[in-house]
Amino acid sequence: MVKNNYKTRKQIKYPAASEELAEFIGIFLGDGSFRSKYQITISYNYRNENTYAVYIRNLIRNLFGLEAKQQIREKYGSADLVVAGSNIVDFLLNILNIKSVRQKNSFVLPKWIWKSDRYKIAFVRGLFDAEGCIYKHKYKSNKKVYSYLKIAITNYLGKILDLLRKLLQEIGFHPVVYRNRVYLYSQKEVSLFLTLVGTNNDKNKARLQRFIL
């Protein structure tokens, strides 16, 4: 490892195409960022996503052989996982076809993800766990109250919303894009999503358990 203050070039594993890498890319495009040419971060909710943060740290360790450090902003209930090393930055810039750390939104999804439903599903899971939620929609009709589970994934970059819509369509869903969200309304498709795509985020698991009981 070559070190110059906080600037490091650590030896890393270079992962091949896999479901785990596809999921990590989804997580990174949702909650990740390039802090500099030498660090990446992934943000999460410190109050209700701690188990999920452990999952991400293990994913990073298994994929790249690197340890993510935790930086907590307890006052705001948020935290970052920080991974140092210019090699992981270079790897992500290359695999996502990004020219510089300041141009993350110019990413191009790797072609290998498009070629496999397993990779598409894993990527969607990563993005859902970073940006999505399960919620209960209630409405009243003829004095009766009805409630249904819905899926929503929020992002303020139209490019990601369009990408997510296309991926969901390719794996058999009929998403609706409205403003900054991609929705699944059909109860059949919500059930299929939870079975086929699933979630590794304890926040989503807890909400689902609460709604079912």
Distant-in-sequence, close-in-space partners of 113: CB < 8 Å, separation ≥ 6:
17, 22, 25, 119, 120, 123
Q: Is 67 helix (H, G, I), strand (E, B) or coil?
A: coil
- Enumerate the domain spans of the chain: 2-113, 117-212
Q: What superfamily would CATH give domain 117-212?
A: Homing endonucleases (3.10.28.10)
The per-residue pLDDT for range 127-145, each reduced to its tens digit, is 999 999 999 887 777 778 7
CATH code, residues 2-113 = 3.10.28.10
For CA atoms 32, 36, 38, 44, the dihedral sign is: negative
Strands 39-45 and 78-84: antiparallel
Angle subtended at Cα 60 by Cα 59 and Cα 66, rounded to the nearest 5 degrees: 140
Residue 196, amino acid = L
Residue 6 confidence (pLDDT) above 60: no
For CA atoms 39, 44, 50, 53, the dihedral sign is: negative
Distant-in-sequence, close-in-space partners of 111: CB < 8 Å, separation ≥ 6:
none
pTM check: above 0.85:
yes
Cβ 164 vs Cβ 113: under 8 Å: no
The per-residue pLDDT for range 31-76, each reduced to its tens digit, is 999 999 999 999 999 998 999 999 999 999 999 999 999 999 988 8
The per-residue pLDDT for range 75-108, each reduced to its tens digit, is 888 999 999 999 999 999 999 999 999 999 999 9
Fold: same for 2-113 and 117-212 = yes
pLDDT for res 75: 86
CA distance 113 to 37: 25
Residue 200 confidence (pLDDT) above 90: yes
CA distance 5 to 200: 35
